[in-house]
Structure 1
């Protein structure tokens, strides 16, 4: 049997801020194998919660939180210039890889090529620096996203304005720049993508076929851009495992459009989130609206939501898919009308929930009377969300502020929106749990046609396929080895057109 689902935003379970007397902020939050979270951002002082600072404009800031949001440790990385963390992943052996940008050539940073460089920082499980590398040329270059590949190396998404140093070519003023690195950060291959205009990468993800999807913006009308931009357009490229372009897709209206996040969906398509100028699609106002687009696996547009917001500026910075096949977006809003039901004052953090077809289910604002924003969201084991951003407020949803802007993390309870929730036993179960050598998957029901099984780590990376081939019948079992996995939290995910089902287990 099934139970009906209410459509409302989940409640705040806890929220915490960390900061110094300077301006601090959070950029990305991701779950870790022990049930906690990693948060990255930047800081500008060495007081309050910040124990060290390298004295430049800003430092990259890395924080490890436990499952209830309490700080376990924090580290800063940088030199006498400007340094900022942009992305983080927990690595297979339990450490962390951080994508950053730097102008420093001292302190923790060495090998800067001039101006801004893309900067990769490898940490052990306790946040200690293992190695670092700068990538770039004499122009300004910066990293935006990093993923660890199944073979243990890394793929770095960056933007380059160089045509020397590590950069082998440049199509114009700025290009997408993708680097395939080995486990020590050495370059295996690197490619630039773009035209004679301005092309800036925003996000990259490894895809289920072993290739990569990368998105950002373009003003180019030539080169690798096969659909000329109207003004500033979103530009998405599908790459194979070796970095060759399989297809590209430009999206945009008559004015400026931006995209900041992309995820592969359960149907093997892709969903993008960003912002669009109101006059680009004939919205009610000329302010910026939140923008969401869904592509199929070949890059063709399936649907888009072009005028999401109110009469002031509204942005979505990140998107992820939910268990029911819908989507949740995090960003910020300055509106108090239209699709926005409430504003605490000035700029609020904003959460938006869509169904699988892109229809608005609910939205909710978070913040106080000053400027607050959300930049990252992750699903949690209990069906809720954890979101990270920055806050200048001391009222409303906020209880304290350490100085100027603070790094801000909010934990929300379970989201009960969905096409359905099972009232009976789960579709499958795992045993033993915890496990040492093997895990047994027992199916209470037959697998739907077209269903896919995946073994995932705590950050949602696809590690293996526990079963493929014949349809599994009711009451049958599938067994797979976990002996080679490091200790930690893992999940078996079953996805089909009817939704996503996930069961977690602990590897001892």
Structure 2
């Protein structure tokens, strides 16, 4: 792929006009596009069942990593565990298949994205409703599913994230080889994606993990009535500082002064540090941020320090004087006056026991003046603080529930969730 040549990834069930050779009802097609020569012939991939494309990313030494979902067990697929499986292919530059693998279990499993790291290993991100085959330790109705492979497609490890409800990612973003961002929606009142009070069935979240699948930092926000909120994109500014973009159907949101316009509105949330959360709304009287299938989606990019752009769909005729039809593409530029959070060195906190009734201990910090601790509630209110020592931290005076433990050790800062039982 060059500045004038692009890879096109899509599904189709046509068998003529440049689409001959497909094997099933829906096949995945990969074609090239050049501004001078147009669309190349490309190739179809899949089997006799329905097969769907999600993303294609570049490999280190040329070629591509394909992420999709498959109901097939033949053709380019070597089997199927049941329903939809996550489908990953390693392709050469000429689109020949180096290997093709499927992952999941007997439930519905969906791939979102895959990225190759500098060492050749591959991180795969998706959702799962399975509890067998490749999926271990299922938490609830739907879990976030992360897989790490070597360059040959062999599984190194798998992990699931979520709570006892339904937790989905709508995107997984690569920041660097040690930083990946999961962004989506959760209706669990427990588990990995609970950072603040959850008073509604669904909350939007972002969740940062490292190359070993360990939690680094994250945030979530819901509404104060029984209305959905979801995130589909996030821009990481620095540790504990992120701009999340999604869709909501209310203005009953913590610390939000904007007025809900109707239908679906775009929700922008400035997670600025550990405790500062500033939501904003944008939209018109009809549905914004949803496609013809009523699926919520908005994508964003950073322009400069305080300016962002987002792109989505809209049915609101009041947003622009030149509204064209039933649904238009909406591109908007916004400015957010947030206070920048300085960069900080972040380390992983290891706490035991967790949950705890009385005392919690932090394994990987020094004692004395060099290590200070803070315990905050999930709204960011400071409850306890002091110097950390060998006696641990006494949480016996706290009410039962979830809290944030922040440790500053030297020039490094770490944060994790603890549960008082």
Confirm or deny a common fold (TM above 0.5): yes
Matched, 1:355 2:323: no
Q: 1:145 matched to which residue of 2?
A: 113
2:159 maps to which of 191, 197, 201: 191
Change (3 A) 1:209 1:71: closer
Q: 1:437 matched to which residue of 2?
A: none
1:129 maps to which of 97, 105, 109: 97
For residues 385-424 of structure 1, the aligned pairs below 5 Å read: none
CA distance in 1, matches of 2:21, 2:336: 45
CA deviations over 1:280-321 (Å, ceiling 9, x no partner)? 55744441012222334x565553322x11111111521222
Matched, 1:304 2:279: yes
1:290 maps to which of 262, 266, 276: 266
Q: 1:251 matched to which residue of 2?
A: 221
Q: 1:395 matched to which residue of 2?
A: none
Q: Which has the higher contact order (CA 8 A, sep 6+)?
A: 1
Change (3 A) 1:289 1:126: same
Verify the 8 A CA contact 2:261 2:283 in the aligned structure 1.
no
CA distance in 2, matches of 1:70, 1:280: 49
Verify the 8 A CA contact 1:211 1:242 in the aligned structure 2.
no
Alignment gaps of 5+ in structure 2: 290-296, 344-421
For residues 90-489 of structure 1, the aligned pairs below 5 Å read: 90-208=58-176, 210-226=178-194, 227-229=196-198, 230-253=200-223, 254=225, 255-265=227-237, 269-278=241-250, 280-281=252-253, 283-296=259-272, 302-306=277-281, 308-315=282-289, 316-322=297-303, 326-337=307-318, 339-355=319-335, 357=337
Verify the 8 A CA contact 2:262 2:284 in the aligned structure 1.
no
2:10 maps to which of 34, 41, 49: 41
Aligned residues: 325
Change (3 A) 1:184 1:342: farther
Change (3 A) 1:70 1:162: same
CA deviations over 1:231-273 (Å, ceiling 9, x no partner)? 2111221213311223342212131012222333478843322
Verify the 8 A CA contact 2:28 2:51 in the aligned structure 1.
yes
CA distance in 2, matches of 1:218, 1:101: 22
CA distance in 2, matches of 1:64, 1:258: 33
Deviation at 1:41, TM superposition (A): 2.3
Question: TM-score if structure 1 supplies the norm length?
Answer: 0.59
Change (3 A) 1:50 1:260: farther
Question: TM-score if structure 2 supplies the norm length?
Answer: 0.71
Deviation at 1:181, TM superposition (A): 1.5
Runs of 4 or more, structure 1, over 4 Å off, are 279-282, 298-302
Q: CA-atom RMSD, angstroms? A: 2.6
Change (3 A) 1:48 1:317: farther
CA distance in 2, matches of 1:310, 1:45: 37
CA deviations over 1:6-29 (Å, ceiling 9, x no partner)? xxxxxxxxxxxxxxxxxxxxxxxx
Q: 1:59 matched to which residue of 2?
A: 27
CA distance in 1, matches of 2:37, 2:162: 41
What SS does the aligned partner of 2:42 have? strand
